[in-house]
Chain A
C-alpha cells in the first residue's frame, strides 16, 4: 500500500468512528424510551431536512450520476433532476397528510387507512424488496471504491460497510441517527464541492487543457496519456474511426498479442483478463450502446426509445421518492404536517445544491479518465478523477476527501434503510417467537451483503432507478389515492401494488437475463416505470370501484385526521398519550434536548 492509500483507508475509518460516536453520544445522553423508539418529534425542519438529505444522498448521487454522465452525457442529467423533483412531488401530495396520519412506515399507513392486516403484511414484503434493491448498489459501490483504490479482495468493501452499519444501528437509536445523518449531509456536500471547485480551477488554469472545445468535436474522447486497461468482465466495444491499440489476451474470440487495428464497422469482443494498451491521443473505444463520439454525447435526445427512456426514468424517480422506507420514517420526526412540508422544501434546496457538483465531475471525467469507458466501470470516475487531473500530493488529498464523502454516502443510506426496515421485518414478517429488532437488522444486512456479492455488472445509477421504479409502481398509487380519494379499498390497493410490482420485477428479471445471455434488452425492460406506474394506478382505481362496498369503516375519521390543519389538533399519535405533545414537553422542561442547540 502506498502512503496515500493508507491515508484514504484511515479517512474512511474516521468517518465510521465519527458516525458511531455521534450515534452513541446522543443515545447515551437521551436514553429515554421515546428517544430510542421513534426519535424526538421536535427536531427542527432545517436539521431534519439535512438529515433527510444526508440519508438520501447515496452511492447513486455520489458515484452513479457522474458515471452516468461520463457514459451518456446530457441525457444522464435527468437523474439529478428526477431525484430533486421527487421531493417536490412528495411535498405536493404526501408530506403533510402522511405526517398527520401518524404512520411511521408504509405498512402502518396501509393498515390505518385501509384497515386490513393482510395488506399490511403485503406492504411490508414490498418494503423489504425496495430496501434490498436499494442497498445492493450501495454495497456494490463500496466494492468498486475499495477495489479501485486499495489492493483488497471484492468482499472487503461491502463487508466493512455492513459491519459499521450494524454496529451503528444496534448501538444507537433513531434519535441518534438524526444528528449523525445531518452530519453526513454536510460532510458529503463538503466532500464533493471542494474537490469539484479545485479541479475546475485547475482545469481552467491549465488553459482548459486546450480540450474543452474538443468535447464539441465530432470525434470520440481521446486518451490524455499512455493508458493500460485490464478488462475484468467480458465487454463488447465499438470505435467510431479505425483505431490502433495493443492487446494481450483474447480479442474477438482469437488470442491476440501485440498491435491490433480495429475498424469502425464491427463490434469487438474483449474477453476477461485481456490487457489493452493505448498510446496518448488514441480515440477511446466505448462500450456498445453508449454514445461513441462527443457530439452525440453532448446533445440530449436520441431516437424515440431514448425519449421513452427519459420519460420513464423521470416517472420512476419523481414518483418513487415517496415510497422509500428510510425517507418516510424520517418524516415522522417532524412535529406536525406543516413542519413536514417545510422540511421537504428545505430538502429540495439542499439536494439541488449538491447535484450541481456530480454533473461537473462527470463532464470533467470525459476529458481526463475516458479509459473507464473501455471497461464500463464508469462509476469509478469520481474516485479516479482527482489523481488524473492533479498528479501528486494535491490530487491525493482531494481523492481522500472524496473517499470520505463516498463512504459517508454508503453508510448513511445503508444504515437508514437497515434501521427503518428492520422494524418492519421484526413487526410484520417474523414469527412471534423470534421477533426481535436486532435479529431482523442482522438478517436484513446479511441478505443485502449476499446479494451484493453476486456477480453482476450494472451501473449504480441504473440499479437505483429500478428500486425507485418499484417504489413508484407499488407505494405511490397507494399513497396518492389513499390520501386524496375516499374510494380506495384494500382490494384495490392490493391489486394495484401486485400489478405494478410484478411488472417491475418481471422487467428486472428480463434485464438481468439479458445481461447473462447477451440478448439486447429493449428500453421498456430497462426502464419500465412509464408503463408500470399508470398500470398500477389504473388497476387500483378499477378494482376499488368494483369493490366499493368493502370500503374501510374508518375512512372518514382518517381523512379528517390527515387533512385538517394542524392547529385544529386532530392528529392523534400513538406516542402522545405516552409522552405528551411536543410543545407541552418543551414547556414542561422535558423537551430541552440537545437538538435545540
Chain B
C-alpha cells in the first residue's frame, strides 16, 4: 500500500510582525492555500490499516497482540537484567562477606558499588531500553504505512 494522497489546507506563512497589528482583525478571513496531495514521503498512515486497527478486525487485533507481546518481551528482558544485577548484590554480599569488606583507596567496595556505580548502570539500561522501544515503534508504524 502506498501513502494515500489527500488534499490538505495549509496556512500561508505569517505576515511580518510589524504589519501584524493592522492585519489581525477578526472580521477578515485568514488567507489559506489549498494544496492537492501531500508531499511525498510524509508519514501519513494508510487509512485502511488504520481502520482495521481501530475497528479491531481479526487482523487488526492480531497486529496489536503481536506488538504488545513484542514490547512486553523487551520490557521483561530488561526487568530480568535489572533483577539479576540488583537482586544479586545483597545475596553476593551476604554469601561472601570478604568481597564486601575489600577496600579501594580506603573505601569498602560495597559502599562504592552501592553508592556510586549502581545508578549509572540503571541509567544506561534506561537509555538502551528507550532506543530499543522507539525503534520498535518506528518499525511498527512503517509496517502499518506500507
Interface residues of A in 30-58 (CB under 8 A from B): none
Q: What is the CB-to-nearest-CB distance from A465 to chain B, in angstroms, rounded to a whole number? A: 16
A344-B126 contact in complex given A81-B119, A299-B108, A565-B141, C-beta closer than 8 Å: yes
- Is there an interface contact between A556 and B61, defined as CB atoms closer than 8 Å? yes
A4 CB-CB contact with B under 8 Å: no
For the complex, count residues of A whose C-beta is within 8 A of B: 55
B115 interface hit (Cβ, 8 Å)? yes
Q: Which of A249-284 contact B (CB under 8 A)?
A: none
Contact of A301 among B67, B100, B118, B122 (CB under 8 A): B100
B 3-28 contacts with A by CB, 8 A: 11
Q: What CA separation (Å) do A116 and B21 show in the bound complex?
A: 53
- Is the Cβ of B45 less than 8 Å from the Cβ of A568? yes
| Inter-chain contacts of A300 with B (CB < 8 A) | 90, 93-94, 100, 110, 114
Query: What does the 1/0 interface line of A67-109 toward B look like (CB < 8 Å)?
Result: 0000000100110110011011101110010000000000000
Q: Could you tell me if A299 and B100 are in contact, using CB atoms closer than 8 angstroms?
A: yes
Inter-chain CA distance A570–B63, complex, in Å, is 15
Query: Contacts of A306 on B, CB cut-off 8 Å?
Result: 94
Question: A310 contacts the other chain (Cβ, under 8 Å)?
Answer: yes
- A314, B86: Cβ atoms under 8 Å? yes
Contact (A307, B126) CB under 8 Å given A93-B79, A338-B137, A567-B43: no
**How far, in angstroms, from A587 to B127 measured CA to CA in the complex?**
30
In Å, the complex CA distance between A92 and B115 comes to: 23
- Shortest beta-carbon distance from A68 to chain B in Å: 13
A560 in complex: contacting residue of B54, B87, B127, CB < 8 Å? B54
- On chain A, the residues within 8 Å of B130 by CB distance are 91, 341-342, 345
Q: Could you tell me if B110 and A299 are in contact, using CB atoms closer than 8 angstroms?
A: yes
Residues of A293-323 contacting chain B, CB below 8 A: 298-302, 306-307, 310-311, 314
B108→A74 contact, CB < 8 A: yes
Asked if B36 is at the interface of the complex by the 8 Å CB criterion, the answer is no
Chain B CB within 10 Å — which of A299, A311, A556, A559 has the most?
A299
Q: In the docked arrangement, what's the CA distance between A298 and B90, Å?
A: 14
Which residues of A lie under 8 Å from residue B97 when comparing CB positions?
299, 301
Interface-lining segment among A147-155, A220-228, A352-360:
A352-360
**Contact of A78 with B64 at beta-carbon distance under 8 Å, contacts A88-B125, A310-B90 already known:** no
**A556: B residues at CB distance < 8 A:** 56, 61, 64
Check if A517 is an interface residue, CB within 8 A of chain B. Answer: no
Kindly report which residue of chain A lies nearest to residue B78, judged by CB atoms.
A92
Do A91 and B90 touch (CB < 8 A)?
no
Residues 543-587 of chain A: 1 if any B CB is under 8 Å from the residue's CB, otherwise 0? Answer: 000000000000011011001111111100000000000000001
State whether B53 touches A568 (Cβ < 8 A): yes
Query: Does any Cβ of B come within 8 Å of A349's Cβ?
Result: yes
Return the CB mask of B79-97 against A: 1 if under 8 Å, else 0.
1001000110011011001
Instruction: Indicate whether A434 reaches chain B with its CB closer than 8 angstroms.
Output: no
Q: Is B35 at the interface (CB under 8 A from chain A)? A: no
How far in angstroms is the closest Cβ of chain B from A99?
A: 13
Of A85, A311, A314, most buried by chain B (CB within 10 Å of CB) is A85
Interchain CB contact under 8 A, A356 and B116: yes
- The prevalent SS among residues of A at the interface is helix
Whether A301 lies near B71 (C-beta < 8 A) is no
Q: Which of A314, A352, A484, A587 is the one whose CB lies under 8 Å from B72?
A: A484
Q: How many residues of B contact A (CB 8 A)?
A: 52
Give Cα distance in the complex from A92 to B94, angstroms.
Answer: 29
Is B33 at the interface (CB under 8 A from chain A)?
A: no
Closest approach, in angstroms, between the C-beta of B62 and any C-beta of chain A? 11
Cβ of B114 to closest chain A Cβ, rounded Å: 4
What CA separation (Å) do A173 and B130 show in the bound complex? Answer: 31
* Inter-chain contact B126/A564, CB cutoff 8 Å: no
Which of A81, A96, A356, A568 has a CB less than 8 Å from the CB of B144? A568
Chain A residues near B119 (CB-CB < 8 A): 80-81, 84, 348, 352-353, 355-356
A327 CB → nearest B CB, Å: 16
CB within 8 Å of B: which A184-241 residues: 212-213, 216
Q: A84-B119, A88-B126 are in contact. Are A307 and B90 (CB under 8 A)?
A: yes
Residues A127-169 near B (CB distance < 8 A): none
Are A91 and B111 neighbours in the complex by a CB distance under 8 Å? no
Q: Say yes or no for B41: interface residue by CB 8 A criterion.
A: no
Q: Which of A341, A363, A559, A587 contacts B133 (CB 8 A)?
A: A341
Q: Are A74 and B100 in contact (CB under 8 A)?
A: yes
1/0 per position for B96-123, CB-CB distance to A under 8 A?
A: 0100110100101011001110111011
Measured between beta carbons, the chain B residues less than 8 angstroms from A569 are: 45
A92 to B110, CA, bound (A): 27
Complex alpha-carbon distance, A93 and B87, angstroms: 18
Note all chain B residues with C-beta closer than 8 A to A352.
119-120, 122-123
Minimum CB–CB distance from A45 to chain B (whole Å) comes to 11
Q: Please, how many angstroms separate the alpha-carbon atoms of A205 and B66 in the complex?
A: 61
Residues on the A chain within 8 Å of B91, using CB = 307
Q: Are B87 and A311 in contact (CB under 8 A)?
A: yes
Residues of B within 8 A of A216 (CB): 103, 108
Q: Fill in one digit per residue for B40-65: 1 if any A CB lies within 8 Å of its CB, else 0.
A: 00010100001001101000110010
Q: Which residue of A lies closest to B94 (CB)?
A: A301
The interface residues of chain B lying within 8 Å CB-to-CB of A345 are 123, 126-127, 130
Q: A91-B126, A338-B137 are in contact. Are A567 and B68 (CB under 8 A)?
A: no
The one of A92, A212, A344 that contacts B106, using a Cβ cutoff of 8 Å? A212
| A92-B79, A298-B108, A560-B56 known; A565-B122 Cβ under 8 A | no
**A353 CA to B118 CA, complexed, in Å:** 11
Q: Which of A77, A88, A566 has the most CB of B within 10 A?
A: A88
Contacts of A307 in B (CB 8 A): 90-91, 94
Taking a contact as CB atoms under 8 Å apart, the answer to whether B50 and A568 are in contact is yes
How many Å from the CB of B7 to the closest CB on chain A? 18
How many whole Å from A341's CB to the nearest CB in chain B? 6
The complex places the Cα of A363 from the Cα of B141 at a distance, in Å, of 51
How far, in angstroms, from A80 to B118 measured CA to CA in the complex? 10
> In the bound complex, do residue B82 and residue A348 qualify as a contact, i.e. CB atoms below 8 Å apart?
no
Please report the C-alpha to C-alpha distance between residue A81 and residue B121 in the assembled complex, in whole angstroms: 11
Q: Is the CB of B68 within 8 A of A92?
A: no
Q: Which of A89, A356, A363 has the most CB of B within 10 A?
A: A89
A84 touches B122 (CB 8 A): yes
A-B contact pairs, 14 of them (CB 8 A): A80-B119, A88-B78, A88-B125, A299-B108, A345-B127, A348-B122, A356-B119, A359-B111, A556-B64, A560-B53, A563-B64, A565-B138, A566-B137, A569-B45
Q: Which 6 pairs across A and B sit closest by C-beta, in order of nearness?
A: A352-B119, A565-B137, A77-B114, A300-B93, A301-B94, A92-B75
Contacts A74-B111, A89-B82, A301-B100 aside, 10 further interface pairs with beta carbons under 8 A come to A84-B118, A299-B108, A300-B100, A345-B127, A352-B122, A556-B56, A559-B68, A563-B67, A565-B141, A567-B43
